[in-house]
Structure 1
Amino acid sequence: MPELSVVVYGRNVQGHLPEALAELTGAGPAGTGLAGTGPVGTAGPAPGEAPTTPAPVVEVIVAAVGPTAQDAAARHPSVTVVPLPDGTPDSTARAAGAARATGRWLQFAHSKDGVTALAARGAAERAAALPETVDVLLTDHVRSTWRYARTPSPDGRFLAKPGRRDVPVGDCPDLLKVTPLLGTRIVRADFWRAHAELFATDDELFVAYAALLAADRVAAYDQVALEDRQLRAESLPPVTPDDRFALLETYERLLRLAAERAAGPGPTAVLYAAMVTASLRIIARAKLPEPAARDFFRRASRAAVAHRPPGYRRPGGLEGVRRRLLEEDVYAKYRAFQAANQQRRKVRSTIGAGRQAVGRKVRDARYHQDLRRPVDPDLAVFSAYWDRGVACNPAAIAAKLAELAPHVHPVWIVGAENVPLLPPGTDHVVPGTRRYWRTLATAKYLVNNANFPNAVVKRPDAVHVQTHHGTPLKRMGLDQLDYPAAAKGLNFHELLARVDRWDYSVSSNSHSTQMWQRAYQSRYEELDHGYPRNDVYYTATAADVRAVRERLGIAPGSRALLYAPTHRDYEATWTPRLDLAALAERLGEETVLLVRGHYFYGGAASPLTGLRRAGRVIDVSSYDPVEDLALAADALITDYSSIMFDYANLDRPIVIYADDWETYAKTRGVYFDLLAEPPGHVARTQEELTRLLTSPAWRDETAAKARAAFRRRFCEFDDGRAAERVVRRVFLGESPTELPPITPLDERTPAPTPEEATS
């Protein structure tokens, strides 16, 4: 018997069903299936036992309408299809799917929504560990629209309330504040069937709440188990006044259910607040015809009074006034109050905009006064990754500057949130402050691996150094014009104005030099000196390698694999494309996975939280500098991240995991075919990757030959003295002929490997 049956139901809205099945079975570009363990995960034999036919951990039931559903399901032999005639309501489809399901637990996902194989496996394992007294496992979700993909939900704080305990919903009413989506309620099959009559409605909002109210005990799971794909409102049938009244009736029915179930004052208060909030939102935003609006207001007023919990106290402020007017059923007064409040907001907005404009004028006036001050020849401003801190090429240049030109004083631009992370004694300014603008106005040198704000003025005697922060595989700058996903929000006229401020552009190979010239068309001197941040790959000692591994908790003799995927322009949050838990299990106890998410997702909740305690998976997304991680790793696993070009300097194995290469290349645009010119072996599935890493192939002769060709092309200028060349050329004014020559590739000695460092 499988642990979980995922029932995909409903008509194939806007053609999403094939994509949903591909994700769920792990067969499509967006899938994260469990390679080597069946399409959606299976339980294999215990160590030492003979192989048997494995029982699936997750089964997939498709109870959908129309031939498209059957055709899509036919491509996935492991899927059970329940064909339904046109016009079958969602409630009937769910019931038909549940009747065919054999799992102990049920998850219902509409055909437009998404459940990945990895998410289903994780939910199944969490559900399997629950006692028989738990009826519902409440999960998190992400939301996608036509504009944004996989936006995190606000539900984490509510799901965290019970921790690992299972509770009656009356003891933790905040669980009712979790977004009411049926797909995030994983229900025990026996519980669902026992309440089949209660759940026999097309009203998903009611079923989502009712599942919690009817449950004896509920457990929370703070991992994402559903992608809620919200369809564009303009593509759906228009919402009618009857739909608005139906929503109000749903909440009243839920409040009656809460009373029947003796849910307690907490759940009743949460549902009541949700009903009143929804009613006021409809009155304010739904643009109902005036007669219908009056009627709805009167109906909502009766509901607000009839269901008001004992001891209820209205909130203070404007919200309290709105609720009082609703309860008193004074529609004319409410509209007058609403109009007055809108006018008040408009006036405040105008005043606020005026104050901001005045503030900008004051700032600009002061800044332009500072621009008339003499340039300080001994002042240098550094910034990295949009003011994140001391990092990357700027950090390596600043360190060498202190050695070769100590008379030049460095000042770092650092966002206020990152100031506590600065090395002790680092002189810094916070963006927007008075000293920030004065420093930018008077510094002789401005060094950045991104770009300074548009408002920064390029003084004739100031020097701007663009260090970049990677070798370009993906399209950059003007080359993004043909790729809307990559160019989203980018103003190319402003970009070129920023580029026109550059005096120098640092490059690590001829490929980069050519691409920068093409993507950033302006007048600047190319510094074909190598990337300063890569110097450490030739200067680090065996002691340095051992020290980094010790800081990371890597046991001597263990194999450490650094997994560092890149950013996708079509994803708002980072979801690992590998089942890391399964990979770690297959690789065994002697291998440690160092997992680093892209810095673009720094503000998002880490999907690795549940794996950190395993010991063999270490989340190093926030660890700096990344060069330390490279020194500690025996090999690199990446997809299309520029870290591969830097890591190649170490002459250690690199494995490319390219499960979505075609999608990435089409949406982002690339400068060359990585699969035709890789730095090592290429895996297109998790099973292929696992086979490589569990055999000697990951560092065989074929991999070494590919890496050698890759290094000749992309490690051209990196030899351990890049920072010195940049400092001598830019800060000391030495001519190109005076700089240290680049050591030929065959004469360079990379830092010791972890194996060499311990021998």
Structure 2
Amino acid sequence: MPRFSVIVPAYKVQAYLHACLESVTTQSFTDFELIVVNDGSPDGSGDIIDEFADRDRRITAIHLPENVGPGHARNAGLTRATGDYLLFLDGDDSLAPGSLLAITDRLKETGGPDILVFDYERTYWNGEARRNGLAGHLSQTGPETFTLGDRPELLQLLTVVWNKAYRREFTERVDLTFPPGYYEATAWTYPALLAAGTVAVLDQVCVRYRQRRRGTVLGTTSRRHFDIFKQYDRVFAFLDDHPRLEHWRPALFRRMLDHLTTVYNSPDRLPRSSRADYFKRCRAYYRRHRPRAFRAPTPFGQAGLRYLLVRLGARRAFQALGGVHRTRLRAQARVAARYGRIREAALRLHYRLQRRRALDQDLTVFAAYGNRGYVCNPAAIETRLRELAPHIRTAWVTTPEHAHTLPPGVRRLQPGSAAYWTAMARAKYLVTNDDLHPRYTKRAGQLTLQTHHGTPLKHMGLDLRDFPAAAKSTDFEHVLAQADLWDYNLSSSRHSSLTWERAYPSGFTTLEYGQPRNDVYQRATTDDVLRIRAELGIPRDSTAVLYAPTHRDYRAGFHADLDVERIARELGPGFTVLMRTHHLYDTGAQHAAGQPAFLDVSRHPSVEQLCLASDVLLTDYSSLMFDYANLDRPIVIHAEDWEVYRASRGAYFDITAHPPGLLARSEDELIDILATDAWRGPRSAQLRAAFRERFCPYDDGYAAERVVRRLFLENRGDTLPSVIPLQDRRPAPAPGHVRALSSRPHTGSLSASLAPS
């Protein structure tokens, strides 16, 4: 019996069905069956279903002889379902990566409720994505499980079936089936929520709800939208058959009125000739289903007036009310736009005025990764700056979402605020690993340090001009304009220096000082390593494999190239696999069901801590390999798609010819390397030594100090720390050696060095 039965009806979705089915079959959680129902589709959907079923035994293909609609198509899938829980997905939508894992984890945490409600986002043809506007209803407040009576606001969510997981035994006991019709989800969703003995929520986007430009069922102008009346007849009939639920009748009556009037107000649903008939039907249904205990809201409110006009059958007045409402919304939008323009003009004037004031010689503004918090090289520099030059004040540009990452005493600047522009106008120093604001204009006397955020393997800057798949819509004039703002460019090796100066040709001064974020690898102690592992839940005797795949420019969204759960199973209980996705993705921190040896650490705030906790790095082409080499711990490269990656993005050297450790071309070969201990053998050490000599000449634990003394204290007579040779460095001991080592401290203070990154 699988954990999930995922049921997908398909009708005229051939353009989207591949993406839909792949979003299920590539999930990291694999204990499911996928039942795909060809609802008599006249296009190629049936062939696509068979193609997937032929290559994946988890897929069951059902072909209906004629089109029966999504409701009956789902019923056909229900007859074949054997999973503990039912999930539904429309053929043009998709599951977000990691969704099945998140859902099963939440089901375990909440004791197996009848229904789990999760979130979705609307995805548009132009690439835009918007999360459900009522996502706040899914926040965890109060008990882990509850009934609808405890959280009645769940009735306000969109009446769809695919934002929930249903315990199959519950649906069979309540005898839930789908009726025919356009609005079949209505007659399933409300009875399911009402009858559920236990409900839980998951505040995570699990479904991507495609908003097609044209061709959707509900966007079709037709009298078939009158089907909504039959569906509410079925909802109230369900109440009639379940007297214990009678107290829900007023709430459902209000939901019906809101739903009916929404359809009427949607301009593309009802033919013009049928609108009067539809409104008469609304009035009739008001009278038919109005509960005796129903008290209409005061007519002075918008909802109360709308209900009153439906009750009276005053269609023209109702339309006039809608016109007034639309006029008010347009007026509000104009006011908001005008306010935005006025605010923008005021901020620009404010910035110009602030630029006339004297520079603040003791102010430094920091930012990293598009204002995503206190991370990476800028964080390590800021920490060291406060230690060595406490007279210099620091401010960090970030949003409220990441404000918690700031250490005490560091001022937060809201991006785009008046305080932000004041600081940008007056700060003498600016430190970032990303672009500066496009409206920032550099003043004489201001000094900008570009730290970057890794050693380059893939092509960067102007070198992307020959790789359109990676460059996409890159504005290379903007790239050059940004580089012209840099006074200093931080480099970790001669390779990086040559690359930066070619890819960003400008007049900056290169500082070959190393990467400050790597200082922690030379300063952490045995106790620090053990503490971090304990916080992550890694057993003391376990070998921790940190898997960190990089971004693929030729693919949209995250796709795991390795079955990390299979790897964890194959390696056995002596290993723990930590999965860290690229910072462009966020799959969440979740344990795999039944797999205590696999942990997704994508949301962990510090990649440096993850490196310290691990015994070996497993990656493909991530620049993390250059940082990790400073720990002098084994690295394994999975290069199954190297040729494709190199052709689409470009690379400065062939990582397969000069790897930092053993190289695997397939998943089976990778498992063999890890299972046989070859990963830490003499060949691995030999390759790593050559790699470190080439790419880690300056990362000796003093990179941040060299930056601070050179940039901020250059006129104070301080000398720069000499670079410690590779053979004399003592990086933090690997977890596999800690039992044989005493808790020997390393030079420097760790409190600052373990800043999140």
Q: Which TM-score applies when normalising by structure 1?
A: 0.79
Q: Distance in 1 between matches of 2:690 and 2:463?
A: 26
- Residues 414, 428 of structure 1: 8 Å contact kept: yes
Report which stretch shifted further, 499-508 or 509-518.
Answer: 509-518
1:453 Cα deviation (Å)? 1.9
1:724 Cα deviation (Å)? 3.5
The answer to whether the aligner puts 1:751 opposite 2:735 as a matched pair is no
Q: 1:16 to 1:642 in 2, by over 3 A?
A: same
Match of 1:314 among 297, 306, 317: 297
Match of 1:264 among 234, 245, 249: 245
| Alignment-derived partner of residue 750 in structure 2 | none
| Alignment-derived partner of residue 32 in structure 1 | 27
Amino acid at match of 1:182: V
1:631 Cα deviation (Å)? 2.0
Q: Distance in 1 between matches of 2:458 and 2:96?
A: 27
| Alignment-derived partner of residue 53 in structure 1 | none
1:22 Cα deviation (Å)? 4.6
Unmatched segments (≥5 aa) in structure 2: 41-45, 741-757
| Alignment-derived partner of residue 275 in structure 2 | 293
Superposition pairs of residues 300-379 of structure 1, within 5 angstroms: 300-309=282-291, 310-314=293-297, 317-379=301-363
| Alignment-derived partner of residue 386 in structure 1 | 370
Match of 2:161 among 182, 185, 190: 182
Q: 1:542 to 1:84 in 2, by over 3 A?
A: same
SS at match of 1:718: coil
1:508 Cα deviation (Å)? 1.8
| Alignment-derived partner of residue 44 in structure 1 | none
Report which stretch shifted further, 148-157 or 340-349.
Answer: 148-157
1:96 Cα deviation (Å)? 4.3
Q: Distance in 2 between matches of 1:105 and 1:399?
A: 49
Superposition pairs of residues 471-482 of structure 1, within 5 angstroms: 471-478=455-462
- Residues 588, 601 of structure 2: 8 Å contact kept: no
Q: Distance in 1 between matches of 2:91 and 2:360?
A: 64
1:750 Cα deviation (Å)? 3.0
- Residues 589, 604 of structure 2: 8 Å contact kept: no
Q: 1:86 to 1:145 in 2, by over 3 A?
A: farther
Q: 1:92 to 1:685 in 2, by over 3 A?
A: farther
Amino acid at match of 1:256: A
1:264 Cα deviation (Å)? 2.3
SS at match of 1:230: strand
Post-superposition CA distance 1:594-636 (Å, at most 9, x none) = 554555557xxx6435669987666655554432332222222
The answer to whether the aligner puts 1:467 opposite 2:451 as a matched pair is yes
SS at match of 1:444: strand
| Alignment-derived partner of residue 14 in structure 1 | 14
Post-superposition CA distance 1:499-537 (Å, at most 9, x none) = 322112212234433443455444322223321211222
Amino acid at match of 1:303: Y
- Residues 487, 507 of structure 2: 8 Å contact kept: yes
Q: Distance in 2 between matches of 1:591 and 1:188?
A: 35
| Alignment-derived partner of residue 212 in structure 1 | 192
| Alignment-derived partner of residue 529 in structure 1 | 513
Q: 1:524 to 1:589 in 2, by over 3 A?
A: same
Q: Distance in 1 between matches of 2:128 and 2:662?
A: 30
1:115 Cα deviation (Å)? 5.8
| Alignment-derived partner of residue 635 in structure 2 | 654
Q: Distance in 1 between matches of 2:126 and 2:227?
A: 29
- Residues 150, 572 of structure 1: 8 Å contact kept: no
The answer to whether the aligner puts 1:72 opposite 2:72 as a matched pair is no
Post-superposition CA distance 1:666-703 (Å, at most 9, x none) = 87776666566544455677766555544413323454
1:462 Cα deviation (Å)? 1.0
- Residues 113, 226 of structure 1: 8 Å contact kept: no
SS at match of 2:340: helix
| Alignment-derived partner of residue 623 in structure 2 | 642
Report which stretch shifted further, 436-445 or 460-469.
Answer: 436-445
Q: Distance in 2 between matches of 1:106 and 1:497?
A: 54
Q: Distance in 2 between matches of 1:159 and 1:423?
A: 27
Q: Distance in 2 between matches of 1:715 and 1:534?
A: 10
Amino acid at match of 2:481: A
1:145 Cα deviation (Å)? 4.5
Q: 1:505 to 1:262 in 2, by over 3 A?
A: farther
Q: 1:481 to 1:190 in 2, by over 3 A?
A: same
- Residues 136, 215 of structure 1: 8 Å contact kept: no
Q: RMSD of the alignment, in Å?
A: 4.6
- Residues 680, 703 of structure 1: 8 Å contact kept: yes
Unmatched segments (≥5 aa) in structure 1: 35-39, 42-57
Q: Distance in 2 between matches of 1:517 and 1:318?
A: 63
The answer to whether the aligner puts 1:456 opposite 2:440 as a matched pair is yes
- Residues 588, 600 of structure 2: 8 Å contact kept: no
SS at match of 1:243: helix
1:449 Cα deviation (Å)? 1.7
| Alignment-derived partner of residue 504 in structure 1 | 488
Superposition pairs of residues 384-423 of structure 1, within 5 angstroms: 384-402=368-386, 405=389, 407-423=391-407
- Residues 576, 607 of structure 1: 8 Å contact kept: no
Q: 1:754 to 1:248 in 2, by over 3 A?
A: same
SS at match of 2:699: coil
Q: Which TM-score applies when normalising by structure 2?
A: 0.79
- Residues 181, 204 of structure 1: 8 Å contact kept: no
Match of 2:679 among 680, 695, 698: 698
- Residues 5, 86 of structure 2: 8 Å contact kept: yes
Q: Distance in 1 between matches of 2:724 and 2:95?
A: 52
SS at match of 1:182: coil
Match of 2:259 among 278, 281, 305: 278
User: How many equivalent pairs are there?
Assistant: 726
Q: Distance in 1 between matches of 2:259 and 2:199?
A: 27
- Residues 106, 189 of structure 1: 8 Å contact kept: no
SS at match of 2:185: helix
Post-superposition CA distance 1:13-71 (Å, at most 9, x none) = 224445555554x4xxxx1356xxxxx44xxxxxxxxxxxxxxxx44444435444333
Q: Distance in 2 between matches of 1:495 and 1:580?
A: 37
Report which stretch shifted further, 202-211 or 579-588.
Answer: 579-588
Q: 1:219 to 1:301 in 2, by over 3 A?
A: same
Q: Distance in 2 between matches of 1:109 and 1:397?
A: 48
Superposition pairs of residues 77-88 of structure 1, within 5 angstroms: 77=57, 79-85=59-65, 87=67
Percent sequence identity is: 37
Match of 1:439 among 417, 423, 434: 423
The answer to whether the aligner puts 1:425 opposite 2:420 as a matched pair is no
Amino acid at match of 1:302: A
1:240 Cα deviation (Å)? 1.4
Report which stretch shifted further, 478-487 or 514-523.
Answer: 478-487
| Alignment-derived partner of residue 731 in structure 1 | 712
Q: Distance in 2 between matches of 1:103 and 1:399?
A: 52
Report which stretch shifted further, 114-123 or 231-240.
Answer: 114-123
Q: 1:393 to 1:162 in 2, by over 3 A?
A: closer
